[in-house]
Amino acid sequence: MHIDHIGIAVKNLDEAIETYEKILNTKCDKKEIVESEKVATAFFNTGESKVELLGATEPDSVITKYIEKKGEGIHHVAFEVDDIYAELDRLRGEGFTVLNEQPKDGADNKLVAFLHPKGNHGVLVELCQSKKE
């Protein structure tokens, strides 16, 4: 298991892309829309891990709600796992609250599932697994 990416919620994705291109001294690697979450994403490779910027595509997006409640900033930490189904079963057995019954399609060709932040010292944790092709 390793950190796959850190997700950052932003109000304006284009402005944030410009900012992070300057900070990281590199261009955005790719943009993608996750329709099911009403979120536009932008990824920056930073070695073994990535930075994912998250902007809302609709007023009722999960990112809009997050920013209204907490403001812009770190939204989640994502850990890459080999078998997301086994990890979800293991973590349920450990007493964690899993927010998704089953993994769902996420950005960057991944299956994703989230652990509720109340059980993780306030951090929304994402588990992700690359989809088999």
pLDDT at 132: 80
pLDDT digit string (tens) for 19-51?
Answer: 999 999 999 999 999 998 999 999 999 999 999
Structure tokens at 54: 């998250």
Full-model pTM? 0.91
Handedness of CA 24, 26, 32, 38 (dihedral sign): positive
pLDDT at 124: 96
Chain mean pLDDT for the chain: 95
* Rg, the chain, Cα only: 15
Structure tokens at 56: 């809302």
What is the pairing mode between strands 73-80 and 104-106? unpaired
Domains plus CATH for the chain?
2-130 (3.10.180.10)
pLDDT digit string (tens) for 91-119?
Answer: 999 999 999 989 999 999 999 999 999 99
**111 φ/ψ angles, rounded to the nearest 5 degrees:** -90, 140
20: which strand partners? none
What is the pairing mode between strands 50-56 and 2-9? parallel
How far is it, in rounded angstroms, from Cα 93 to Cα 47? 33
- Going by pLDDT thresholds of 50, 70 and 90, the confidence category of residue 133 is low
